[in-house]
């Protein structure tokens, strides 16, 4: 029963969507385990470009069961809109399933997220403003509404009215915002609930049965390791656990069911939102990465902060999630940079650390330590075999492998499905273990 987790090793936007899209060709189930419509996964299928936010990237593969797991937070109105867009591009949504236990993001969560961010002033986190934090707050406070409530709209409406009235108190009294119109929100939510209700299911059981039948299940992480609420650059993090442990909790499977964990690493580093970023470059190198890598957010359109590859981060991510392999994305973006650098450690005070510095703010006082490597000028976009990469590109990937202590299985050299170098098929590797 092969179960493979795919997750981001950095601050998100590593290109997980295209990796999941690829691996889903050999899977029967793809399950999202955390996050909500803060995520943005771009998948290019021929002429069609999908911008997925809540729907698992496996939706591009007919017949694959796509699960929105209990660990996610689900915005019903946005999901219906996304379903319409995906259906409009000709993809089938028959196999979409939503966990009964997935928490709902409701309009007041979004209003609260934006009010809270404004209230943080200079200490703002730079959230996507989608209501993620407030929805997970309600989950932890045991006051959230879950997807199962959509099956009985009268009961949903009663609970919603009560919850929304309480949130209106906070919005008006604490944040000085106008109260939200509760009945208008309900009128919007009713058709969405009717549309989503047929997709609500006991998804933990579905995944369990698939595994018991020997089917291949892919667990799709959103965001990335350093946005993990426990292990990331707190408080500049999201409100869930993208690390591998989150997959078991967020779909409802046992740790022993997992056979492999693929870490997705962009060939350089990016981050959106505020918070520490030791290898950030705000010069012509950063500009090259933004322009050549089209580093603008899928969800918010924000320009991403860019910098050199940081292997301290990748090693840390490998330790937390137990990577069995890596997928390196966007190697092609580095073409044309005459010299490359890889961050191998941090100088904090007098001492150099090759381990992650766990206290977020302490990172501000750390200097990155770099290893210099030669660049290459050739375009990689048509390369399909490892041996056809320029020697400098191979050396770069081999240094990443050595410094991370994890083999590189896949290398992407462009957004199209076929712009890929496969060194080991992650599904085959799992079969051997």
CB of residue 129 to ligand IMP, shortest distance in Å: 7
CB of residue 126 to ligand IMP, shortest distance in Å: 4
Q: Which stretch binds ligand IMP (CB under 6 A): 37-45, 88-96, 160-168, 180-188?
A: 37-45
CB of residue 92 to ligand IMP, shortest distance in Å: 25
Q: Which of 34, 60, 70, 128 binds ligand IMP (CB under 6 A)?
A: 128
Q: Which stretch binds ligand IMP (CB under 6 A): 128-136, 197-205, 208-216, 260-268?
A: 128-136
Calpha distance 327→319 (Å, rounded): 16
The verdict on 130 binding ligand IMP (CB under 6 A) reads yes
Calpha distance 245→79 (Å, rounded): 26
Alpha carbon separation from 369 to 309, 339, 353, 372, 375 (Å, rounded): 12, 16, 9, 10, 18
Active site residues: 13, 41
Calpha distance 256→362 (Å, rounded): 36
CB of residue 391 to ligand IMP, shortest distance in Å: 33
> Which residues sit opposite 339 in a β-bridge?
374
Per CB under 6 A, contacts with ligand IMP among 217-256 are 222-223, 227, 236, 238-239
The verdict on 75 binding ligand IMP (CB under 6 A) reads no
- The answer to whether the CB of 250 falls within 8 A of the CB of 74 is no
For 315, phi then psi, to 5°, come to -65, -40
Helices (H) and strands (E) in the chain, counts: 12, 20
Q: Which of 273, 276, 293, 325 binds ligand IMP (CB under 6 A)?
A: 273
Calpha distance 389→391 (Å, rounded): 6
Q: Which of 52, 206, 272, 397 binds ligand IMP (CB under 6 A)?
A: 272
CB of residue 113 to ligand IMP, shortest distance in Å: 7
- Identify the three-state secondary structure at position 279: coil
Residue 4 or 39 with smaller CB distance to ligand IMP: 39
Which residue shows structure tokens 């943005």? 40
Size of the site for ligand IMP (CB under 6 A): 20
The verdict on 265 binding ligand IMP (CB under 6 A) reads no
Alpha carbon separation from 382 to 21, 261, 327, 334 (Å, rounded): 20, 28, 18, 15
The verdict on 40 binding ligand IMP (CB under 6 A) reads yes
Q: Residue 287 is encoded by which pair of tokens?
A: 């500009």
DSSP 28-79: SEEEE-SB-TT--EEEEETTEEEEESSS-GGGGSTT-EEEE-TTBEE-HHHH
CB of residue 394 to ligand IMP, shortest distance in Å: 29
Residue 15 or 252 with smaller CB distance to ligand IMP: 15
Residue 136 or 396 with smaller CB distance to ligand IMP: 136
Q: Which of 3, 6, 132, 406 binds ligand IMP (CB under 6 A)?
A: 132
- The interaxial angle of helices 182-196 and 107-120, nearest 10 deg, is 120
Interface residues with ligand IMP (CB under 6 A)? 12-13, 38-40, 125-128, 130, 132-133, 222-223, 227, 236, 238-239, 272-273
């Amino acid at each position: 029963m092969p179960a493979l987790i795919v997750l981001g090793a950095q601050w998100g936007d590593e290109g997980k969507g295209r990796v999941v899209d690829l691996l889903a060709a050999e899977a029967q189930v793809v399950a999202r385990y955390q996050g909500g419509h803060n995520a943005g996964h771009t998948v290019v299928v021929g002429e069609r470009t999908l911008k997925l936010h809540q729907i698992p990237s496996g939706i591009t593969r007919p017949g694959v069961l796509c699960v929105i797991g209990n660990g996610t937070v689900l915005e019903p109105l946005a999901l219906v809109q996304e379903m319409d867009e995906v259906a409009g591009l000709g993809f089938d949504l028959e196999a979409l399933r939503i966990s009964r236990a997935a928490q709902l993001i409701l309009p007041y969560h979004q209003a609260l997220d934006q009010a809270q961010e404004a209230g943080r002033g200079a200490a703002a986190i730079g959230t996507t403003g989608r209501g993620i934090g407030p929805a997970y707050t309600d989950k932890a406070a045991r006051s959230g509404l879950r997807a199962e409530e959509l099956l009985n709209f009268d009961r949903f409406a009663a609970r919603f009215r009560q919850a929304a009235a309480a949130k209106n108190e906070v919005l008006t009294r604490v944040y000085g915002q106008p109260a939200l119109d509760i009945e208008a929100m309900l009128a919007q939510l009713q058709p969405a609930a009717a549309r989503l209700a047929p997709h609500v299911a006991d998804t933990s059981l579905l995944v369990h049965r698939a595994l018991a039948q020997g089917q291949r299940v892919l667990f799709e992480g959103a965001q990335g390791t350093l946005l993990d609420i426990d292990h990331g650059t707190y408080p500049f993090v999201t409100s869930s656990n993208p690390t591998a442990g989150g997959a078991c909790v967020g779909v409802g499977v046992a740790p022993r069911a997992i056979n492999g964990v693929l870490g997705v690493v962009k060939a350089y580093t990016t981050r959106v939102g505020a918070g520490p970023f030791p290898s950030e470059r705000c010069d012509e190198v950063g500009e090259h990465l933004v322009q050549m890598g089209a580093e603008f957010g899928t969800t918010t359109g924000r320009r991403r902060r860019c910098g050199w590859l940081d292997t301290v981060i990748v090693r840390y991510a490998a330790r937390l999630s137990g990577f069995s392999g890596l997928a390196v994305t966007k190697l092609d973006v580095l073409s044309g940079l005459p010299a490359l650098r890889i961050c191998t450690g941090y100088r904090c005070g007098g001492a150099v650390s090759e381990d992650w510095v766990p206290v977020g703010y302490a990172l501000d006082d750390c200097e990155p330590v770099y290893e210099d490597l030669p660049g290459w000028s050739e375009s990689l976009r048509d390369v399909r075999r490892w041996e056809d990469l320029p020697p400098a590109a191979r050396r770069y990937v081999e240094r990443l492998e050595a410094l991370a202590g994890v083999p590189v299985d896949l290398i992407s050299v462009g957004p199209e499905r076929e712009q890929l170098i496969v060194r080991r098929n992650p599904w085959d590797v799992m079969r051997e273990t």
